[in-house]
């Protein structure tokens, strides 16, 4: 996260309820990740609207991003489709694009990239669809 040029936020709901396999506390403690709440009435209204179609984490994340005009990092197909239709001005970022950016900005070795993607694959668990624009890049490191 140190290589990212903008602050990284996580919805408090996601941090507290959904990110169970990863310890993000050290990132929060280091100031690399900030927990934010959908605490404005307008944000809560957006949460309710998104929650009709999305899980709670995506609904809260989307509401915060829309209200504050922030980008959204998600790989949830349903969320990507809804956000792309309803709020096309909001930038949508995939997990792989973040990892590839990190690899490029830090000059990570092939071994480091492979370990990071393997950790993502086994820990999240995450695997992009063959239609993902970075699928070939992924397969270079995760056969």
Question: CA nearest 68: which of 50, 94, 42, 45?
Answer: 42
Share of the chain above pLDDT 70, in %: 97
Residues in the chain: 143
Lowest mean pLDDT segment, chosen from 5-9, 44-48, 53-57, 94-98 = 5-9
Average pLDDT in the 83-106 region?
A: 93
69 Rama class: left (phi>0) / alpha (psi -120 to 50) / beta: left
* pLDDT of 124 strictly over 80: no
Q: Indicate whether 123 pLDDT > 80.
A: no
Give the long-range contacts of residues 69-72, CB within 8 A, separation 24 or more.
70/9, 71/6
Predicted confidence band at 24 (pLDDT cuts at 50, 70, 90)?
A: confident
Q: Provide the pLDDT confidence category of residue 51 given band limits of 50, 70 and 90.
A: very high
Helix (H) or strand (E) holding 76: none
């Amino acid at each position: 996260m140190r290589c990212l040029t903008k602050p990284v936020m996580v919805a408090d709901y996601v941090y507290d309820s959904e990110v169970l396999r990863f310890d993000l506390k050290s990132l929060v403690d280091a100031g690399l990740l900030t927990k934010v709440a959908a605490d404005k009435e307008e944000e809560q209204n957006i949460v309710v609207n998104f929650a009709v179609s999305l899980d709670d984490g995506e609904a809260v994340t989307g509401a915060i991003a829309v209200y504050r005009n922030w980008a959204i990092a998600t790989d949830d197909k349903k969320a990507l489709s809804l956000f792309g239709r309803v709020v096309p001005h909001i930038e949508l970022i995939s997990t792989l694009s973040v990892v590839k950016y990190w690899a490029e900005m830090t000059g990570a070795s092939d071994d480091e990239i492979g370990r990071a993607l393997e950790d993502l694959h086994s820990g999240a668990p995450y695997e992009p669809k063959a239609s993902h624009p970075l699928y070939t890049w992924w397969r270079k490191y995760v056969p």
